[in-house]
Structure 1
Amino acid sequence: MKKRVQKSALFLITLSLWAAAAFAQTPGSFRIVPERANPGQEIEIVYDAAGTILNNRKNVRAVVYAYRNYKWYASDLNLSATGKVWKAPYKVPADCGIIAVKFKADTLVDNNKEAGYFTMFLDKDRAGAMAKGAYAGWGLARSPKYGMDIPGYIKFEGISDSATYHWLNQEISFNQSAKSVLVYPYALATKATYKNDAGPRLQRVLNYLRRADASETDLLNARRILLRIMQDKAAADSVDQVMLQRFPKGSLARLHAFKAMPVGSDVNLLLKANRQFLIDFPEQGGNEEFARENRIDYPTIYQNIIVLGAYADKNYAELDKYIGKMPFSMLPTLYYKIVEIPFSRKEVTEKALLPVSEKIIKRIEMLRDNRPDEYAYFSPEEWVKFVNGSIAKRILPIHAHLLNTAGRYQQALAYANQSKLLLGYTSATLNAELASILTHLGNKPALRTLLEKSVFENQSSAEMLSMLKDMYIKRTGSEKGYDQYLNGLRNSAGGEKMAEEIKKEMFSKPMVDFAMEDLNGATVKLGDLKGKTVVFDFWATWCVPCKASFPGMKLAVDKYAGDPNVVFYFVDTEERSANYKAEVARYIKDNHYNFNVLFDNKAKDAKATGEVFERVCKAFNLSGIPQKIIVDSNGNARFITVGFKGSATELADEISAMVDMTKTGK
């Protein structure tokens, strides 16, 4: 007994020291003035950068995380310097119990070496007590496994469960209103601390949650504790019966209805079910935590209705109805499904897609300018940066293209430049769009800069190279010296790095034997190609990236047009339509491609072509198109590349490097 008392005393002393460290910041890197403050009070945040990773850095800034009503809210703070000491006034929110601070300059962040900078506040109405949320924030911020810490603030294994239990117990003892909010993490900490002896304590918690006038939230917490912590399904079932009786349209009934929704490919049936679910169980009034835990995802339901409605009804009426309910997390996926896919497949006209794209962009911009509560742990600046980064690569270039084709060039330029701020000149798709926009606007200086920097990054299209050459001829009066000028623009270090990386991928394995027909009906066999370096490009008429890679492949074909020992074959595969050969011939002719085309064979009882391609995939343990295979003069495959990165010039250089290495054998 004496030993237990000693351990308890030692434990309480340790906790007291932790509390003192959080409350009274001793002189060092971080402190507040006055040292003891209340919520609602104006304080001064002081940071001494000497001895930290931000020592001698300029433009030191801060992000302050305020724990308000048991949730973390981040804000940006501008600091001013006196020597190496940075200061800023800060108004403590009236409902804040504790703050955490991080300091940053450029890409460096000082968060007290993953320990965090914290300050707790005194309750202004209760002498000797901490403000509401202080105990819980101090405990949970350093208990990541409980899922109520500050995302991305500190990397920390966590304090002990007994320490977490202590701080939660303190919070609930001093602030009874916290019981419903913190009851589940409190129960987890109780079980982890007392283990097999936790039963009586947990039972007292359950008695409170199951009282006669318990709210639905209390009963849901009781159910959660019984199922997940105590693993008492029978008792949980009894709670379910009470909830279904008292709340016939409540969270449990909602879950049963959600699980009963049909699945499958019947668009009309799915659309009807999703619509009816919203009528029976609207999102408002539901328990968000229970819905999230049981994957009752209303944004997905809204997205289903929008997407299914677009396919079933061939209009976007549902988008107007639900776009205002869509959270940011769902908007990139929604854009992909109803704009990017039909855009890339040319299933919907660009004129029809533009208003759809604008509505989603408008929603994104509104949320970017008004940070949603679920992203409160981002400071406003961090939030804007996160949103812009999420849409820069795929969404903004498409939107800029739709505006460009509609003749709205200034707006197209604004969105393309917004993307360029983050991507620079590293995206061939964006570069090509900007080149088109600048051409329409007649901005030749900006166009020249774009074209030259795109060559340096090796992210150009064939059309852009043609533009660059035309500009050179108009500027100099002839094409003399153009090749030297073009080579001077290239990033030689980048080319050497590409060659080194490609060389690592070199191997040697016999190519799959075949006999396939070309566009003229002549049969081509692998044996006929012995003595030549051969590039096979497996593609299909329905494959968007396959066809997108063809301008780059044409650059490579043209480069080796005068070399009789290098040949290219474009193998059309995985086709299902009856007239695919005519479709392929028309596509090659309409786009002026000087390609040798081979048609893959149809295997016995197969619905689509692909007999050779399937054997290739099996032999080399690969799948997917576009797929390029470079074969040496002895019939051995030496390189394989799958997919298309988006740059015609980069692809041409990649294929050229592989061909040259294959020819020389090194």
Structure 2
Amino acid sequence: MKNLRIPAVLAFTALSIFSCSDEPKETPLTIGNLEISETKPSPGDSLKLTYSAIDTITEAFYVYTVKSSAYPVDLDLIKDGERFTGGLKIPDSADGLIFNFKVGEDYDANDEKGYSVNLYDTDGEILPESESSVTYYKATRGTDYGIKYNQEDAAKLLKENWSKHPDNLAILYVINSSDKAFADSIYDAKLASLSAKEQLVEEDYSNLITIYNVKKDKAALDSITPIITAKYPKGNQAQRAFYQKIYEAKNLEDKEAIAAEFEAAGGVPSSYGNYMYSDLAQAELAEGNIEKFKEAAEKISAATNKASLYNNVAWNMAEKGENLELAEELSKTSLDLVDAQKSDKPDYYTQSQFEKNLASTQAMYSDTYGLILFKQGKIKEAIAAQEDAVADRTSPDVYERYVQFLTADEQYDKVFEKASEFVKKGKATTKTKEYLATAYANTDHDGDFDSYLSGLEKIAHDNALAILKKEMLDEEAPTFNLKNLNGEEIALADLKGKTVVLDFWATWCGPCKVSFPGMQKAVSKYADNENVEFLFIDTWESTSGEARQKGVSDFIKQNNYTFNVLMDTPKEEGSREYDVVSAYEVEGIPTKFVVGPDGKIKFKAVGFDGNTDGLVEELDMMIGLASGQ
């Protein structure tokens, strides 16, 4: 074969053409596991993305910021070996981008720094709002996705960039948390500017309300509320004022009068107005006024609010076994309302998040519907509803009701299959295990049931233990000194050498209170173990001072709990921000921490799934692992 020889000039030209066509316009930007096709992207640009991950990506979306607002959008990524590729077109209105990737069960937050990108103009200069917009998002929403942004650092950057957004009071609120003097000077200047205006518009009143709320100036708030209510009855602030009045009203007649005043002023419900009519509807129902309840409920404009009201009312009726025909009607309507929302996505969800949230809501409402049907003796219809409930739920009590309905219908083979599955998953209540025993006795099985059940429980225990070992932390626990209900000062540092369980809670928190029977079981179990301490930290209460102390103390006494309750301290008088809950970066309650003998956080658990026995077993495993057992 002859060798093909290409003239030198021709070879060079061909090589040059090949290289130019494949060379990117600029060097790609690399942030952790993410590579972006442009280092200085601009609004309107199309970007190519490459994300490296060993495990499966279970969620991927980006957020584009517009000043202090944020809009999430799903990312459609394609797997290519150990990489995932995709792209997006930056919206023209955007000034910043944040990328969020969930790998397996956890968000990859790039060592807690996040994946954030500033945007630039056509001259390669950073957009004026970009740094502040991205920082504001990371400081206020970042913890949801594993990002830890020091609030003082955030406030410092926002303060340095304040001249680029001098009217953004949302951003000023973040600055206020670290530099109150600077924020106050801006608030005072804004107040002076508004006072100098001959006539105020609705936005001006909204700014006044924001400022007076931050400054806790109740007298000033009370003085402008009647004005904004009269001038802008359809506005959010006016509706908020009417809702506050209805909420505080002592009797039904006063609530009805306030609603009539709202309507006479030309108010049409939205936002707070929907809460107002929900409150009125529940007050009517409490007095047995069914038709007036329906009238008030029909005035709620948002399908989400109306569906929630109907489901809550229907569930309460089902639990009591009262008004089951009405409960069925309301429950069915709540499901129809959820179905009607499928084309009405809010801006704060991606499409996939919205669909997942709807599916979860539909499952929860189906659980209500199933219970109502079951209590009316409509067993097969109840089973069909409960199958919708368990399709998206992991709550043990929902699973329990499912096998209860199947047992009532004598579907023992299916009870055996499903209940066994729930036990292995660690999602079985004591009642679920009893239904499994019934099914075992009514189906063809050899051997002893207790041995069979023990085998399933061992699988569940071993799986849970393996997961906990992977989730184990080793972070320094913030120290604190708090007083308990007896006035004794408790210092976390004094408990070093012991395993300490911290439970953040509040008297208004439903899931906290539902979890307490399980927590009492755990406290009683370890009562004689001098190496384990339980501390229940009361926080985020709406009352303060003696009223808060009395409310918490009365709640504990009335329920005969033997908890050592510590009172978290507010950052300032009347504030809803508290010291210890903030130090532990708690986003919702109940939240539990298990601190090992070395003074380091070993576990963090948020929420309660309704399984009392499961809670005690999980705490057993956490305490054992934290203690090095």
What is the TM-score normalised by the length of structure 1? 0.54
Whether the aligned pair in 1 keeps the contact of 2:62 and 2:100 (CA below 8 Å) is: yes
Q: Distance in 1 between matches of 2:37 and 2:429?
A: 54
Please state how far the C-alpha of 1:313 moved relative to its aligned partner: 2.2
Aligned counterpart, 1:431: 400
Aligned counterpart, 1:359: 333
Whether the aligned pair in 2 keeps the contact of 1:262 and 1:273 (CA below 8 Å) is: no
Whether the aligned pair in 2 keeps the contact of 1:210 and 1:222 (CA below 8 Å) is: no
Q: Distance in 1 between matches of 2:429 and 2:254?
A: 49
* Counterpart residue type for residue 299 of structure 2: Y
The correspondence for 2:52, drawn from 37, 43, 48, is 48
Please state how far the C-alpha of 1:82 moved relative to its aligned partner: 3.3
The correspondence for 2:418, drawn from 450, 472, 484, is 450
Q: Distance in 2 between matches of 1:223 and 1:466?
A: 61
Aligned counterpart, 1:628: none
Q: Distance in 1 between matches of 2:333 and 2:394?
A: 26
Please state how far the C-alpha of 1:33 moved relative to its aligned partner: 1.4
Q: Distance in 1 between matches of 2:315 and 2:232?
A: 42
Q: Distance in 1 between matches of 2:219 and 2:429?
A: 65
Distance 1:137 1:188, change over 3 A: closer
The correspondence for 2:559, drawn from 601, 623, 626, is 623
Please state how far the C-alpha of 1:88 moved relative to its aligned partner: 0.5
Q: SS of the counterpart of 1:86?
A: strand
Per-residue deviation, residues 171-200 of structure 1 (Å, max 9, x unmatched): 45xxxxxx3xx1453487489659379748
Please state how far the C-alpha of 1:118 moved relative to its aligned partner: 1.0
Q: SS of the counterpart of 1:490?
A: helix
Asked if 1:164 corresponds to 2:158, the answer is: yes
The correspondence for 2:273, drawn from 283, 293, 298, is 298
List aligned pairs for 1:14-413, cutoff 5 A. 25-26=29-30, 28-49=32-53, 56-59=54-57, 61-68=59-66, 70-123=68-121, 127-131=123-127, 133-144=129-140, 151-152=144-145, 154-158=147-151, 159-171=153-165, 179=167, 182-183=168-169, 185-186=171-172, 189=175, 195=181, 199=185, 203=189, 206-207=192-193, 210-212=196-198, 214-222=200-208, 224-225=210-211, 228-229=214-215, 261=246, 266-280=251-265, 282-283=267-268, 297-310=272-285, 311-315=287-291, 317-318=294-295, 321-325=298-302, 327=304, 332=308, 335-336=311-312, 338-348=313-323, 350-367=324-341, 370-373=344-347, 376=348, 378-386=349-357, 388-389=359-360, 395-403=365-373, 412-413=382-383
Q: Distance in 2 between matches of 1:92 and 1:463?
A: 56
Please state how far the C-alpha of 1:433 moved relative to its aligned partner: 3.9
Distance 1:470 1:237, change over 3 A: closer
Please state how far the C-alpha of 1:399 moved relative to its aligned partner: 1.0
| Number of equivalences | 444
Q: SS of the counterpart of 2:330?
A: helix
Aligned counterpart, 1:546: none
Please state how far the C-alpha of 1:228 moved relative to its aligned partner: 3.6
Q: Distance in 1 between matches of 2:341 and 2:39?
A: 37
* Counterpart residue type for residue 449 of structure 1: E
Distance 1:233 1:203, change over 3 A: farther
Q: Distance in 2 between matches of 1:385 and 1:306?
A: 29
Distance 1:82 1:95, change over 3 A: same
Whether the aligned pair in 1 keeps the contact of 2:314 and 2:327 (CA below 8 Å) is: yes
Q: SS of the counterpart of 1:491?
A: helix
Distance 1:225 1:413, change over 3 A: same
Where structure 1 has 5 or more consecutive residues not aligned to the other structure, the ranges are: 1-22, 50-55, 173-178, 289-296, 499-617, 626-644, 655-666
Q: Distance in 2 between matches of 1:115 and 1:187?
A: 22
Please state how far the C-alpha of 1:322 moved relative to its aligned partner: 3.4
Whether the aligned pair in 2 keeps the contact of 1:299 and 1:327 (CA below 8 Å) is: no
Q: Distance in 2 between matches of 1:425 and 1:202?
A: 50
Per-residue deviation, residues 72-118 of structure 1 (Å, max 9, x unmatched): 12222232233433210112223222110122222032111111111
Whether the aligned pair in 1 keeps the contact of 2:419 and 2:435 (CA below 8 Å) is: yes
Please state how far the C-alpha of 1:236 moved relative to its aligned partner: 8.0
Per-residue deviation, residues 22-71 of structure 1 (Å, max 9, x unmatched): x983465223213333323321122234xxxxxx2234652211214642
What is the TM-score normalised by the length of structure 2? 0.57
Distance 1:184 1:242, change over 3 A: farther
Whether the aligned pair in 1 keeps the contact of 2:132 and 2:157 (CA below 8 Å) is: no
Aligned counterpart, 2:453: 490
* Counterpart residue type for residue 386 of structure 2: A
Which is greater in Rg?
A: 1
Please state how far the C-alpha of 1:245 moved relative to its aligned partner: 9.1
Whether the aligned pair in 1 keeps the contact of 2:338 and 2:361 (CA below 8 Å) is: no
* Counterpart residue type for residue 161 of structure 1: A
* Counterpart residue type for residue 559 of structure 2: S
C-alpha RMSD over aligned residues: 4.9
Q: SS of the counterpart of 1:347?
A: coil
Q: Distance in 1 between matches of 2:359 and 2:450?
A: 34
Q: SS of the counterpart of 2:161?
A: helix
Asked if 1:420 corresponds to 2:394, the answer is: no
Q: Distance in 2 between matches of 1:58 and 1:154?
A: 20
Per-residue deviation, residues 225-251 of structure 1 (Å, max 9, x unmatched): 36745x889988997898689769877
Q: Distance in 1 between matches of 2:31 and 2:440?
A: 65
